A and B are shown apart, each in its own frame.
Chain A
Amino acid sequence: MQENAVEFRHISMEFPGVLANDDVSLDIRKGEVFALVGENGAGKTTLMNILYGINEPTNGEVYIRGQKVERFTPKNAIAMGVGMVHQHFMLVPSFTVAQNIVMSREPRKMGVLFDNRAAEAAAQKLVEEYGLVVEPAAVVREIGVGLQQRVEILKTLYRGADILILDEPTAVLTPQETDELFAVIRRVVKELGMTVIIITHKLYEVMAISDRVGVMRKGRLIGVENTCDVDEKKLASMMVGRPVLYDKLEKTGEAGAEQIRVEDLTVCDDRGLVAVDGLSLSVRAGEVLGIAAIEGNGQSELLEAITGMRRVERGTVEVCGQNVTGRTAGEIRRVGLAHIPEDRLATGVSAVSSVTDNLLMGKQREKSFSGFAFHQRRSSIERYAEETYERFDIRSAGVDTAVGSMSGGNMQKVVVAREFSFDSPVLIIAQPTRGVDVGAIEFIHTRIIEKRNAGCAVLLCSADLDEVFRLSDRIITMYEGRITGEFRASDITKEEIGWYMTGHREGKEAAAK
Chain B
Amino acid sequence: MDDFSAILAGIFSSGTFNEMLRRATPVALAAIGGSLTEHAGIMNIGMDGMILMGAFFGVFGSYLFASAWGGVGLVLLMGLLVGLFFALFVVKFRSDEFIIGCALNTFALGLTTYLSRAVFGTSGAKGFPSLPTVNIPLLDKLPFLGAVLNGHSLFVYVTWLLVFVLWVFIYKTPYGFWLRASGEKPETLRTAGIEPEKMKWLASVLCGVLCALAGAHLSLGYLNGTFAENMSNSRGYIAFACVIFGAANPARAYLAALMFGFFDAIGLRLQDYVSSDLTGIIPYAITIIMMVYVVVNAQRRRRHAAQQRLSRRAPH
Contact = CB atoms under 8 A, between A and B. Distances in A.
- The binding surface of chain B is classed by DSSP as helix
B302 A103 contact: no
Contacts of B181: 92, 95, 103
Given A114-B173, A278-B316, A94 B305 contact: no
Chain A contact residues, majority secondary structure: loop
A157 to B, nearest CB: 14
Interface in B159-207: 168, 172-178, 180-181, 184-185, 187-194
A114 B305 contact: no
B94 interface: no
A103 B306 contact: no
A106 B177 contact: yes
A274 B310 contact: yes
A95 B176 CA distance: 12
A78 B191 CA distance: 9
Nearest to A78: B193
A74 B173 contact: no
B141 interface: no
A430 B26 CA distance: 53
A86 interface: yes
Contacts of B117: none
Contact of B188 (A76, A84, A91, A274): A91
B185 A273 contact: no
Of the candidates B180, B181, B316, the one having the most CB atoms from chain A within 10 angstroms of its own CB is B181
Contacts, number: 79
A385 interface: no
A80 to B, nearest CB: 11
A370 interface: no
A273 B309 contact: yes
A114 B188 contact: no
Contacts of B172: 113-114
Contacts of B189: 103-104
Chain B interface residue number, banded: 20 to 34
A272 B299 CA distance: 8
Nearest to A99: B177
B184 A92 contact: yes
A112 B188 CA distance: 21
Given A92-B184, A114-B173, A278-B316, A104 B306 contact: no
Interface string A73-108: 111101000001010001111110001100110101
Nearest to A271: B302
A240 interface: no
Most chain A CB within 10 A, of B193, B303, B305, is at B193
Interface string A179-198: 00000000000000000000
Nearest to A156: B191
Contacts of B303: 272
A91 B185 contact: yes
A268 interface: yes
Contacts of B299: 272
A454 B303 CA distance: 44
Interface residues of A, number: 31
Contact of B306 (A74, A95, A273): A273
Contacts of A100: 188
B184 A54 contact: no
Contacts of A99: 177
Contact of A104 (B180, B184, B192, B310): B192
Contacts of B191: 52, 54, 74, 84, 86, 90
Contacts of A272: 299, 302-303, 305-306
B209 to A, nearest CB: 20
A487 B181 CA distance: 44
A184 B299 CA distance: 42
- Output the residue of B178, B184, B185, B313 with the most chain A CB within 10 A: B185
Contacts of A75: 193-194
B173 A113 contact: yes
A90 B185 contact: yes
B81 to A, nearest CB: 27
A272 B310 CA distance: 12
A93 B184 contact: yes
A95 B39 CA distance: 13
B302 A92 contact: no
Contacts of B316: 278
A70 to B, nearest CB: 15
Given A93-B184, A104-B193, A114 B310 contact: no
B302 A95 contact: no
Contact of B174 (A114, A268, A273, A277): A114
Given A52-B191, A103-B192, A104-B189, 14 more contacts: A74-B190, A75-B193, A86-B191, A93-B185, A95-B177, A95-B180, A103-B181, A103-B188, A104-B193, A113-B172, A113-B173, A272-B303, A273-B302, A277-B310
10 contacts: A54-B190, A73-B193, A75-B193, A75-B194, A90-B188, A92-B181, A103-B188, A114-B177, A271-B302, A272-B302
Which 9 residue pairs are nearest across A and B when measured between Cβ atoms? A75-B193, A104-B192, A272-B302, A106-B174, A90-B188, A90-B191, A74-B193, A273-B306, A92-B181
